[in-house]
Amino acid sequence: MGLLIFYSLIGGVFSLIGGLLLLLNYKLVQRLITPLLSFAAGAFLGAALLDLLPEALETALKPQPILLALLIGFVTWFIMERLIMTYFLKHQASQEAHSDHTESLPALLILGDSLHNFLDGIVIALAYVANPALGLTTTLAVAAHEIPQEIGDFSVLLYRGWPKRRVIFINVLQSLLTVPGVILGFYLGQALALQLPFLLAAAAGIFIYLAASDIIPEIHHRAGHKQFFPVVLPLLLSLSLIGLLTF
Protein backbone atom coordinates (compact mmCIF):
# COMPACT_ATOMS: atom_id res chain seq x y z
CA MET A 1 0.00 0.00 0.00
CA GLY A 2 2.88 2.37 0.77
CA LEU A 3 4.29 1.94 -2.73
CA LEU A 4 0.86 2.53 -4.23
CA ILE A 5 0.42 5.79 -2.30
CA PHE A 6 3.88 6.84 -3.49
CA TYR A 7 2.73 6.20 -7.06
CA SER A 8 -0.31 8.39 -6.52
CA LEU A 9 1.86 11.22 -5.19
CA ILE A 10 4.14 10.92 -8.22
CA GLY A 11 1.14 11.37 -10.48
CA GLY A 12 -0.08 14.39 -8.53
CA VAL A 13 3.29 16.14 -8.33
CA PHE A 14 4.15 15.64 -11.99
CA SER A 15 0.73 16.87 -13.07
CA LEU A 16 1.50 20.21 -11.37
CA ILE A 17 4.70 20.78 -13.34
CA GLY A 18 3.04 22.38 -16.36
CA GLY A 19 1.01 24.78 -14.26
CA LEU A 20 3.98 25.80 -12.10
CA LEU A 21 6.07 26.47 -15.19
CA LEU A 22 3.28 28.74 -16.37
CA LEU A 23 3.56 30.82 -13.18
CA LEU A 24 7.26 31.54 -13.67
CA ASN A 25 6.45 34.36 -16.07
CA TYR A 26 3.14 35.79 -14.89
CA LYS A 27 3.39 38.98 -17.00
CA LEU A 28 3.81 36.91 -20.13
CA VAL A 29 0.78 34.87 -19.09
CA GLN A 30 -1.32 38.02 -18.89
CA ARG A 31 -0.34 38.99 -22.44
CA LEU A 32 -1.06 35.52 -23.77
CA ILE A 33 -4.26 34.83 -21.85
CA THR A 34 -6.49 34.30 -24.92
CA PRO A 35 -4.16 31.71 -26.53
CA LEU A 36 -3.81 30.06 -23.10
CA LEU A 37 -7.59 29.83 -22.76
CA SER A 38 -7.66 28.24 -26.21
CA PHE A 39 -4.98 25.78 -25.06
CA ALA A 40 -7.16 25.02 -22.02
CA ALA A 41 -10.21 24.32 -24.19
CA GLY A 42 -8.21 21.92 -26.34
CA ALA A 43 -6.78 20.20 -23.25
CA PHE A 44 -10.24 19.53 -21.81
CA LEU A 45 -11.66 18.35 -25.13
CA GLY A 46 -8.61 16.15 -25.69
CA ALA A 47 -8.77 14.65 -22.21
CA ALA A 48 -12.47 13.90 -22.69
CA LEU A 49 -12.54 12.58 -26.25
CA LEU A 50 -9.05 11.11 -26.68
CA ASP A 51 -8.49 9.68 -23.21
CA LEU A 52 -11.46 9.29 -20.85
CA LEU A 53 -14.19 8.33 -23.32
CA PRO A 54 -12.13 5.80 -25.35
CA GLU A 55 -10.99 4.18 -22.09
CA ALA A 56 -14.60 3.94 -20.91
CA LEU A 57 -15.81 2.49 -24.22
CA GLU A 58 -12.96 -0.01 -24.35
CA THR A 59 -13.99 -1.68 -21.10
CA ALA A 60 -17.77 -1.48 -21.57
CA LEU A 61 -19.95 -4.17 -23.07
CA LYS A 62 -22.20 -1.70 -24.92
CA PRO A 63 -21.60 1.93 -25.94
CA GLN A 64 -25.10 3.24 -25.13
CA PRO A 65 -24.77 3.24 -21.30
CA ILE A 66 -21.36 4.93 -21.60
CA LEU A 67 -22.76 7.68 -23.81
CA LEU A 68 -25.68 8.06 -21.41
CA ALA A 69 -23.18 8.54 -18.55
CA LEU A 70 -21.38 11.17 -20.65
CA LEU A 71 -24.68 12.98 -21.21
CA ILE A 72 -25.49 12.80 -17.49
CA GLY A 73 -22.12 14.36 -16.65
CA PHE A 74 -22.69 17.15 -19.17
CA VAL A 75 -26.24 17.92 -18.02
CA THR A 76 -25.33 17.68 -14.33
CA TRP A 77 -22.66 20.37 -14.74
CA PHE A 78 -25.14 22.55 -16.67
CA ILE A 79 -27.59 22.26 -13.76
CA MET A 80 -24.82 22.96 -11.25
CA GLU A 81 -23.74 26.06 -13.15
CA ARG A 82 -27.30 27.40 -13.17
CA LEU A 83 -27.57 26.76 -9.41
CA ILE A 84 -24.26 28.52 -8.74
CA MET A 85 -25.11 31.50 -10.95
CA THR A 86 -28.68 31.80 -9.65
CA TYR A 87 -28.18 31.36 -5.92
CA PHE A 88 -24.50 31.96 -5.08
CA LEU A 89 -23.05 34.51 -7.51
CA LYS A 90 -25.78 37.13 -7.86
CA HIS A 91 -23.87 39.75 -5.87
CA GLN A 92 -20.60 39.05 -7.66
CA ALA A 93 -22.25 39.26 -11.07
CA SER A 94 -23.82 42.63 -10.28
CA GLN A 95 -20.41 44.10 -9.42
CA GLU A 96 -18.46 42.67 -12.37
CA ALA A 97 -18.26 44.17 -15.80
CA HIS A 98 -17.13 40.73 -16.94
CA SER A 99 -19.20 38.57 -19.22
CA ASP A 100 -21.62 36.53 -17.16
CA HIS A 101 -20.83 33.12 -18.54
CA THR A 102 -17.47 32.64 -16.77
CA GLU A 103 -18.28 33.66 -13.17
CA SER A 104 -18.97 30.07 -12.16
CA LEU A 105 -16.15 28.59 -14.24
CA PRO A 106 -13.56 28.32 -11.42
CA ALA A 107 -15.95 26.38 -9.15
CA LEU A 108 -17.02 24.04 -11.94
CA LEU A 109 -13.44 23.60 -13.09
CA ILE A 110 -12.20 22.70 -9.60
CA LEU A 111 -15.03 20.22 -9.04
CA GLY A 112 -14.57 18.56 -12.43
CA ASP A 113 -10.81 18.28 -12.16
CA SER A 114 -11.04 17.01 -8.57
CA LEU A 115 -13.27 14.19 -9.78
CA HIS A 116 -10.84 13.47 -12.60
CA ASN A 117 -7.85 13.24 -10.22
CA PHE A 118 -9.81 10.97 -7.90
CA LEU A 119 -10.65 8.68 -10.83
CA ASP A 120 -6.99 8.73 -11.89
CA GLY A 121 -6.15 7.34 -8.45
CA ILE A 122 -8.64 4.52 -8.92
CA VAL A 123 -7.16 3.72 -12.36
CA ILE A 124 -3.64 3.60 -10.89
CA ALA A 125 -4.81 1.28 -8.10
CA LEU A 126 -6.60 -1.11 -10.46
CA ALA A 127 -3.51 -1.31 -12.67
CA TYR A 128 -1.28 -1.89 -9.62
CA VAL A 129 -3.47 -4.71 -8.32
CA ALA A 130 -3.25 -6.39 -11.72
CA ASN A 131 0.54 -5.94 -11.89
CA PRO A 132 2.75 -3.61 -9.75
CA ALA A 133 4.93 -2.79 -12.79
CA LEU A 134 1.80 -1.85 -14.73
CA GLY A 135 0.87 0.42 -11.82
CA LEU A 136 4.09 2.42 -12.32
CA THR A 137 3.69 2.78 -16.08
CA THR A 138 0.06 3.80 -15.58
CA THR A 139 1.15 6.42 -13.04
CA LEU A 140 3.66 7.91 -15.48
CA ALA A 141 1.08 7.91 -18.28
CA VAL A 142 -1.49 9.65 -16.06
CA ALA A 143 1.08 12.27 -15.00
CA ALA A 144 2.19 12.91 -18.59
CA HIS A 145 -1.24 13.57 -20.02
CA GLU A 146 -2.20 15.67 -16.99
CA ILE A 147 0.52 18.26 -17.69
CA PRO A 148 -1.28 20.01 -20.60
CA GLN A 149 -4.52 19.93 -18.64
CA GLU A 150 -2.89 21.51 -15.57
CA ILE A 151 -1.63 24.33 -17.80
CA GLY A 152 -5.26 24.78 -18.81
CA ASP A 153 -6.41 24.85 -15.18
CA PHE A 154 -3.82 27.44 -14.19
CA SER A 155 -4.63 29.55 -17.27
CA VAL A 156 -8.35 29.72 -16.46
CA LEU A 157 -7.90 30.50 -12.75
CA LEU A 158 -5.28 33.17 -13.44
CA TYR A 159 -7.56 34.67 -16.07
CA ARG A 160 -10.34 34.91 -13.51
CA GLY A 161 -8.04 36.97 -11.31
CA TRP A 162 -7.03 34.36 -8.74
CA PRO A 163 -3.71 35.10 -6.96
CA LYS A 164 -0.78 32.74 -7.58
CA ARG A 165 -0.77 31.31 -4.06
CA ARG A 166 -4.44 30.38 -4.18
CA VAL A 167 -4.05 28.78 -7.62
CA ILE A 168 -1.12 26.68 -6.39
CA PHE A 169 -2.91 25.75 -3.15
CA ILE A 170 -6.09 24.63 -4.92
CA ASN A 171 -4.19 22.62 -7.51
CA VAL A 172 -2.07 20.90 -4.86
CA LEU A 173 -5.25 19.88 -3.02
CA GLN A 174 -6.75 18.59 -6.27
CA SER A 175 -3.60 16.60 -7.02
CA LEU A 176 -3.70 14.98 -3.57
CA LEU A 177 -7.12 13.53 -4.40
CA THR A 178 -5.31 10.75 -6.25
CA VAL A 179 -4.38 9.38 -2.79
CA PRO A 180 -7.93 8.57 -1.58
CA GLY A 181 -8.61 7.34 -5.12
CA VAL A 182 -5.83 4.74 -4.96
CA ILE A 183 -6.81 3.67 -1.45
CA LEU A 184 -10.44 3.18 -2.46
CA GLY A 185 -9.40 1.48 -5.70
CA PHE A 186 -7.09 -0.90 -3.85
CA TYR A 187 -9.69 -2.09 -1.33
CA LEU A 188 -12.76 -1.94 -3.57
CA GLY A 189 -11.04 -2.76 -6.84
CA GLN A 190 -13.44 -5.32 -8.24
CA ALA A 191 -16.60 -3.35 -7.45
CA LEU A 192 -15.11 -0.08 -8.74
CA ALA A 193 -13.80 -1.77 -11.88
CA LEU A 194 -17.40 -2.44 -12.90
CA GLN A 195 -18.47 1.18 -12.36
CA LEU A 196 -15.29 2.90 -13.55
CA PRO A 197 -16.27 3.13 -17.26
CA PHE A 198 -19.42 5.08 -16.35
CA LEU A 199 -17.50 7.39 -13.98
CA LEU A 200 -14.88 8.06 -16.66
CA ALA A 201 -17.60 8.83 -19.21
CA ALA A 202 -19.31 11.21 -16.77
CA ALA A 203 -15.99 13.00 -16.22
CA ALA A 204 -15.62 13.27 -20.00
CA GLY A 205 -19.06 14.88 -20.20
CA ILE A 206 -18.01 17.40 -17.54
CA PHE A 207 -14.85 18.35 -19.44
CA ILE A 208 -16.76 18.73 -22.71
CA TYR A 209 -19.23 21.02 -20.94
CA LEU A 210 -16.46 23.18 -19.45
CA ALA A 211 -14.76 23.58 -22.83
CA ALA A 212 -17.84 24.05 -25.00
CA SER A 213 -20.09 26.04 -22.67
CA ASP A 214 -17.67 28.28 -20.78
CA ILE A 215 -14.16 28.47 -22.18
CA ILE A 216 -14.80 28.57 -25.96
CA PRO A 217 -17.55 31.24 -25.71
CA GLU A 218 -15.17 33.33 -23.61
CA ILE A 219 -12.44 32.92 -26.25
CA HIS A 220 -14.85 34.22 -28.92
CA HIS A 221 -15.82 37.09 -26.64
CA ARG A 222 -12.19 38.14 -26.05
CA ALA A 223 -10.85 37.57 -29.57
CA GLY A 224 -13.82 39.03 -31.41
CA HIS A 225 -13.22 39.29 -35.16
CA LYS A 226 -9.52 40.07 -34.89
CA GLN A 227 -7.63 36.84 -34.21
CA PHE A 228 -7.44 33.49 -35.94
CA PHE A 229 -4.07 31.75 -35.61
CA PRO A 230 -3.40 32.90 -32.00
CA VAL A 231 -6.70 31.22 -31.07
CA VAL A 232 -6.79 28.15 -33.31
CA LEU A 233 -3.17 27.01 -33.10
CA PRO A 234 -3.02 26.67 -29.27
CA LEU A 235 -6.19 24.56 -29.31
CA LEU A 236 -4.74 22.28 -32.00
CA LEU A 237 -1.45 22.11 -30.08
CA SER A 238 -3.09 20.97 -26.85
CA LEU A 239 -5.23 18.43 -28.71
CA SER A 240 -2.09 17.09 -30.39
CA LEU A 241 -0.22 16.84 -27.07
CA ILE A 242 -3.06 15.00 -25.37
CA GLY A 243 -3.40 12.65 -28.33
CA LEU A 244 0.34 11.95 -28.46
CA LEU A 245 0.63 11.33 -24.71
CA THR A 246 -2.49 9.18 -24.65
CA PHE A 247 -1.77 6.96 -27.64
As a whole number, mean pLDDT of residues 18-39 equals 77
Contact 118, 177 (CB under 8 A): yes
Highest mean pLDDT pick, 24-28, 128-132, 146-150, 239-243:
239-243
Q: Lowest-pLDDT range, 10-24, 181-195, 208-222?
A: 10-24
Query: What are the structural domain ranges in the chain?
Result: 2-26+35-93+100-246
Instruction: Quote the CA–CA distance of 26 and 134 in Å, as a whole number.
Output: 38
Is the predicted pLDDT of residue 167 greater than 90, yes or no?
no
Taking the complete model, does pTM exceed 0.85, yes or no?
A: no
Task: Please give the share of the chain, as a percent, with pLDDT higher than 70.
Answer: 90
Contact 186, 51 (CB under 8 A): no
Instruction: Quote the CA–CA distance of 168 and 10 in Å, as a whole number.
Output: 17
Instruction: Quote the CA–CA distance of 53 and 47 in Å, as a whole number.
Output: 8
Q: What is the pLDDT of residues 75-88, one digit of tens each?
A: 999 998 888 878 77
Residue 94 pLDDT: 47
